[in-house]
Amino acid sequence: MNRIDILFRERKNDILSVYFTAGYPNLSSTAGIIKALADSAVDMIEIGIPFSDPLADGPVIQRSNEKALKNGMSLNLLFRQLSDIRKEVKIPLLLMGYLNPVMQFGMENFCIQCSEIGIDGLFFPIFLLWFIRMNISQYSIIMISIMFYSFHLSLRQAEFQLLIKSAMVLFIWFLPHL
């Protein structure tokens, strides 16, 4: 059973999930931040994959993405930095980002890397229907789609039902832009 499933089965309330951008504030700080958060009673960590054009995010996350990319963060480097993280961190880890870097990396290779490292879930703010049709359950990863109705996604009822049926877990978030 996935660590996210276990967390939500054991606790229904007061779950603290913290987001940070990989490669920010320093290129080599990602694993240290994860370990510090895990040691600080955080229940789940969302690791942001930096992207050059994070339109669905507010200015703080946009700036952290910009800095992380200037620092040299990439998916290849992130996976290398996380390669031994499960030796010390037992709480759920999720990757959050945009599909563009994942598509460049290769969808199947991305899922394989996530599975090998022990990533428990994926968050994508704008979601393509064909991606959820891919059978990612074989990699023991939960797909979490975050949809911003005020942005680029408009679904017909049938597509929305397919989306819900295809995803193991579906969170619908509306994040305020501060």
Backbone phi, psi, residue 169, to 5°? -135, 140
> What is the DSSP code string of 39-96?
TTT-SEEEEE---S--TTS-HHHHHHHHHHHHHT--HHHHHHHHTTGGGT--S-EEEE
Neighbours of 10 (CB within 10 A): 8
Q: Which of 46, 66, 88, 120 is catalytic?
A: 46
> What is the DSSP code string of 111-157?
HHHHHHHT--EEEESS--HHHHHS-GGGGT-EEEE---TTTT----H
Q: Which of 5, 14, 53, 57 is catalytic?
A: 57
116 catalytic residue (yes or no)? no
5 catalytic residue (yes or no)? no
Pairing mode of beta strands 93-96, 44-48: parallel
What are the residue numbers of the active site?
A: 46, 57
